[in-house]
Amino acid sequence: MLAIVDVFWRLGFNQTSFRELEAATGEGRQSLVNAFGDKESIFEKAIQCYIDHRVNEVIDLLRGEGEPLDRIAKVVARWEADAKAPDHRGCLLVNTGGEIGPKNAAIADRMANSTQRLVNEFAKTYQQAMRSGVIATKPTAKSLARLTVALGDGALLQARVSGDAVAAKQTLATLTELIRRR
């Protein structure tokens, strides 16, 4: 399934054909259909696999060891690495949102749920940082969480579209600078 995720991540839903899926998996079209269903069903499973791996990975980083802002910095570093990747894939969920939007209710629901999970985890982490006095800004933890997810999404999309990882890195670094108490 990870090979299938990679194809959709690189090409998007509309540009992915069974030919690309066959090449990535070494399986024939009929085997893929028998195993996963039609292209839309395969895509839905790929989205869920991405969520299970990438979104949960970010949540695990936020719940991990260390100071709250250090944990957030680990996520930001992860996003920066994604932006610098040679293929500039960005975030599969953001890419899908731009390509498909609400046309597929099941995927739209998964995306909204994943975004909310990320916002909730960032909010918890920001709240911990606020309690320890290391955040310099006034917005609520939830507002900072929404800002962080939106900036991360935007930076990754910008890197994908422009191929310019430097701008994404600067955007994410600015966020980190804005929230740290001086």
Give pLDDT, residue 101: 79
- Beta-bridged to residue 180, according to DSSP, are 135
- Percentage of the chain modeled with pLDDT above 70: 98
- Please, which pLDDT band fits residue 17 given cuts at 50, 70 and 90? very high
- Residue ranges of the alpha helices (H) in 64-140? 68-84, 92-99, 105-132
Q: Are 42 and 4 in contact (CB under 8 A)?
A: yes
- List, for residues 38-87, the tens digit of each pLDDT value: 999 999 999 999 999 999 999 999 999 999 999 999 999 999 888 888 77
Q: How many residues does the chain have?
A: 182
Give pLDDT, residue 181: 62
DSSP 103: G
**DSSP state string for 62-79:** HHSSS-HHHHHHHHHHHH
What's the alpha-carbon Rg for the chain, to the nearest Å? 18
Q: Is the pLDDT of residue 139 over 90?
A: no
Closest CA to 11 of 20, 22, 2, 23: 20
Q: Is the pLDDT of residue 5 over 70?
A: yes
Cα dist from 128 to 9, 54, 132, whole Å: 33, 23, 6
Q: Is the pLDDT of residue 156 over 60?
A: yes
pLDDT average, residue stretch 12-36: 93
Amino acid occupying residue 141 = A
Q: Is the pLDDT of residue 180 over 60?
A: yes
- Which CATH code, of 3.40.190.80, 1.10.287.1080, 1.10.357.10, 1.10.10.10, is assigned to 54-179? 1.10.357.10
Give pLDDT, residue 174: 87
Task: For the chain, give percent helix, strand, coil, nearest 5.
Answer: 80, 0, 20
